Amino acid sequence: MADIIRSIEPFELTQGFGDNPQAYARFGLKGHNGWDLRTQYPDTPKGFRNILTSWLSKFYTQGNEGNDGFGLYFEVIVQLYNTYKLTYAHCNSIENFQTKNEGEAMGISDNTGNSTGSHLHLTVKRGSLQNGKFISDNYNNGYFGAIEPQEFYDELRQYKKEKGTTQNPEGCLVPNTLEWRQKYEEIVSSANKWAETLKILEITDDPNTTPPDRIKSTIAGYKSRETDLNNKLNEKQQQIDVANRELENRKEQVSRMEKGLLDKEKYYKSQIDALNKQIKNGSESLPLAQARIGVLEKELDEANKAKGGALLGAEEYKTKFESSQKGTLIPTPQIIFSLIIQYIGNSLKPKGGDKHG
């Protein structure tokens, strides 16, 4: 018989502590923060296996994150030379208990929460109990205080060898007793900052039962979203840079078109002046000249309208571009092209099929 009992027997590790750092970086972790233990065996094909105590375990808390995170989970306190908090995640059910002795079942494993298959996730943290609340040692170690579970089992093996007892260790509080609940309620009722923190993070869970890991997983989610938004912002900035370059090109094009319109205006005026001189000189072609003047004046009016349309289009495009820099519109080369064609290019097309000498 083995000298210690692990949470799932037979014991088979499917993912170790610190494994797959890339997969857990988005949660703010350096890697996997515990052990994943196999639960699917011939006698438990669906992975419904008893979760066993490795030593005298005191119930600490439980929760349910639905389809996210740990799913249905619970936590116990184990007192050896040091104080440990053990978290068991992705459970099917949890027994109602205050204490469990070595080798007893505390719950049944499953595949709840963010899980890719039936297994038991075990997280181990070393720390201390302060007014009934567990405080992790070395919280900023990159795993939010979690340690290699083997450290717990190594200490358990040594502790059993020296102590050889399953009596309640001194200093280990037993939650859910009347005295403990009164102290806990007193602490929680005065912990306004904790409730305010949950509100800021839009966590609607009861502050009296919300575990710290719920806060950590939420913050990790915000960090992931921040990264996504920064990537999108960089993409939009690249689009604005392209639009800036395109705008400069279009400004030059508008300037050339405006010059062409001015040249046309000068041409029409010179034609009108020439015909007016013919009228003054009493030319025999007076009726034809007067008709010609009417046509030219009409074309001059059309040219002025085209010029005004081009300038108006350029101004409107400038306004849209300035709006895009404020975040209300992202110009694309297609938008720029369509605006220029609509307000400038079309205005320059010749009207009718008349020819003028």
pLDDT of residue 145: 96
pLDDT of residue 236: 81
pLDDT at 182 over 60: no
Residue written as token pair 């370059």: 245
Strands (E), 56-192: 57-64, 72-79, 83-89, 91-94, 99-100, 105-109, 119-130, 133-136, 146-147
- Cβ neighbours around 53 below 10 Å, total: 21
Averaged pLDDT, 243-260: 76
- Those residues whose C-beta lies under 8 Å from the C-beta of residue 10, and which sit 6 or more positions away, are 41
Averaged pLDDT, 74-79: 97
What fold, for 13-190? Glucose Permease (Domain IIA) (2.70.70)
pLDDT of residue 297: 78
Which candidate, 122, 130, 109, places its Cα nearest to that of 150? 122
* pLDDT tens, position by position, 89-125: 999 999 999 999 999 999 999 999 999 899 999 999 9
pLDDT of residue 177: 44
Q: Where in the chain are the domains?
A: 13-190, 237-348
Structure tokens, 355? 């020819």
Q: For all residues of the chain together, what is the average pLDDT?
A: 79
Structure tokens, 3? 């000298």
| Buried-state track 245-277, b at ≥16 Cβ within 10 A, e below 16 | ebeeebeeebeebeeebeebeeebeebbeebee
Lowest mean pLDDT among 88-97, 182-191, 305-314: 182-191
pLDDT of residue 214: 65
Distance (Å, whole) CA 268 – CA 106: 98
pLDDT at 173 over 50: no
> What is the distance between the terminal CA atoms of the chain, rounded to a whole angstrom?
113
Averaged pLDDT, 204-232: 71
Distance (Å, whole) CA 118 – CA 8: 13
* pLDDT tens, position by position, 323-357: 766 654 555 555 555 555 555 555 555 554 444 43
204 or 99, which is more confident? 99
Averaged pLDDT, 131-140: 94
Structure tokens, 74? 């619970």
Share of the chain above pLDDT 70, in %: 71
